[in-house]
Amino acid sequence: MSKDQKIAIIGGGITGASIAYHLASTKSLNISVLDADVARGATRVAAGMLAPVAEAVYGEERLLDTMLGAARYWGELAEKLRDDFGLDVGLRNTGSLLIGATPNDTVEINRAKSFYDRLGLACTYLSKSELDSIEPTLSPMISGGIFTEIDNQVDNRKAHIALIEASKRLGVDFVTHDATQINRIGDSFEISLEDETCIKADKIVLAFGVTKDAIKGVPDFIYDSLRPVRGEVIRIRTNKFTPAPERIVRYLVEGRSGYIVPRLDGEIVIGATQEEKGFDASTKVRSTYELLRDALRVIPALGEMEIAEINVGFRPATNDNFPILGQVEQDLFCALGSFRHGILLSSIIGRGIAEMISGPTTSIELGLFTPNRLR
Ligand SMILES: Cc1cc2nc3c(=O)[nH]c(=O)nc-3n(C[C@H](O)[C@H](O)[C@H](O)COP(=O)(O)OP(=O)(O)OC[C@H]3O[C@@H](n4cnc5c(N)ncnc54)[C@H](O)[C@@H]3O)c2cc1C
């Protein structure tokens, strides 16, 4: 493929940014990312967990190998962004605890461990004294749990910015307008932008997450397959007087699941609701209260910290909850529907879609997630 080939990526969240970075670092191409506001999507709201174990659920096993591959590849990607560009993605490899607040919750956690064992995902039981020694901030009421070193985190905001910055340094053009329409004209495309200008492209990648406003010319089945799954998270900040947790703590409190994700820079993300309520972006008193109440049952010291932000985002989910990755039509590709795993998967999706576009071979098997299954 020659430098004259123009690729337009519609959407500059972490998925679009990762595709841009991987395309620009492997081939000398003319790449544009179109997005009025790259900080508007789910990427900025997410907690940044790379969690193939805790996110493994019955019926979604076919995503597991891709999730494990994506988690491993984040290590390599983080190193490359640091060594080549001096950029930090906030990768923190301190593993994750999964704990139950009540005896019934602990039974559920133990049941989950049997499922993880069946999938061959390494995790170990911890007694109360082992838990206390590795995570002394936990409430004394927590009687045991499991630990996995597979599930870790990046700082999703830093990782997103790093991928954009690296892409820019490799020559990718970021155009701050949304796409409103795509038209196929002969062998190429014309993309109309919201400011009523047009740009031409030989290939298009759709990476717009999930939105209320459809882009004309995108096949209907793509929009028919997507739905927003609302999520609310709270960001708090540690202070020098209060001990902060060292690792991700995922929990059940009377059957309600939640997580606490501590960053190296003192930010802690508490999440998350998961609601099928369309595009309601308001923050709700009840969900904020419930998130904080459950988190404080698990780590009481969080109560002394300062609330920094309350965020709402929309996970881009599909009808079968699996991502849509690959060629939709000749020269039209999509990378949509990463649902609860979009930060994790963005590493491998970026590489896989870039290889698919620049060819001739791909090192990552994305065939399971072909758009054709949803037609
Ligand atoms: C509360 C919450 C917690 C989460 N926690 C995690 C987690 O811990 N780990 C994990 O792996 N995942 C997590 N996720 C999921 C993850 O955030 C998403 O899957 C991921 O961010 C999707 O990235 P994206 O780039 O595909 O979409 P987005 O981040 O939504 O980006 C889409 C971009 O497309 C742009 N766009 C939209 N329409 C147009 C248009 N017409 N033209 C041009 N651009 C357009 C938008 O401006 C936006 O910048 C979480 C999500 C939520 C809501």
Residue 337 in contact with ligand 1 by CB distance below 6 A: no
- Summary mean pLDDT of the chain: 95
pLDDT at 3: 62
Domains of the chain, residue spans: 6-50+157-226+319-374, 94-150+227-317
pLDDT surpassing 90 at residue 329: yes
Ligand 1, atom 38: closest residue by C-alpha: 208
Sorting pLDDT into bands at 50, 70 and 90, what band is 4?
A: confident
**Mean pLDDT along residues 108-118:** 95
Residue 178 in contact with ligand 1 by CB distance below 6 A: yes
Residue 272 in contact with ligand 1 by CB distance below 6 A: yes
Sorting pLDDT into bands at 50, 70 and 90, what band is 189?
A: very high
pLDDT surpassing 80 at residue 293: yes
Residue 142 in contact with ligand 1 by CB distance below 6 A: no
If you count them, how many residues does the chain have? 375
Sorting pLDDT into bands at 50, 70 and 90, what band is 143?
A: confident
Q: 300 C-alpha vs ligand 1 centroid, how far in Å?
A: 31
pLDDT tens digits for 30-63? 999 999 999 999 999 999 999 999 999 888 889 9
pLDDT tens digits for 236-291? 999 999 999 999 999 999 999 999 999 999 999 999 999 999 999 999 999 999 99
pLDDT at 129: 92
Long-range (24+ apart) CB contacts under 8 A made by 321-325 are 321/60, 322/60, 322/62, 322/63, 322/368, 322/369, 323/63, 323/349, 323/369, 324/222, 324/225, 324/369, 324/370, 324/371, 324/374, 325/349, 325/352, 325/353, 325/366, 325/369, 325/370, 325/371
Report the residue among 9, 14, 222, 312 best suited for mutation to probe ligand 1: largest number of ligand atoms under 8 A from its CB: 14
Q: Map tokens 């599930």 to a residue.
A: 151
Q: 11 C-alpha vs ligand 1 centroid, how far in Å?
A: 9
**Mean pLDDT along residues 158-177:** 98
Q: 169 C-alpha vs ligand 1 centroid, how far in Å?
A: 23
Compute the CA torsion angle 301, 306, 312, 317 (nearest 10 deg): -40
**Mean pLDDT along residues 169-181:** 98
Sorting pLDDT into bands at 50, 70 and 90, what band is 2?
A: low
**Mean pLDDT along residues 130-146:** 93
Sorting pLDDT into bands at 50, 70 and 90, what band is 1?
A: low
Contact, 9 vs 182, CB < 8 A?
no
Sorting pLDDT into bands at 50, 70 and 90, what band is 360?
A: confident
**Mean pLDDT along residues 184-204:** 96
Higher confidence at residue 359 or residue 287?
Answer: 287
C-alpha closest to that of 200 among 334, 6, 1? 6
Residue 356 in contact with ligand 1 by CB distance below 6 A: no
Extract the tokens encoding 33: 């990312």
Sorting pLDDT into bands at 50, 70 and 90, what band is 86?
A: very high
pLDDT at 326: 96
Report the residue among 40, 153, 230 best suited for mutation to probe ligand 1: largest number of ligand atoms under 8 A from its CB: 40
Domain 6-50+157-226+319-374: CATH class, spelled out: alpha beta
Ligand 1, atom 20: closest residue by C-alpha: 342
Domain spanning 94-150+227-317 has what CATH number? 3.30.9.10
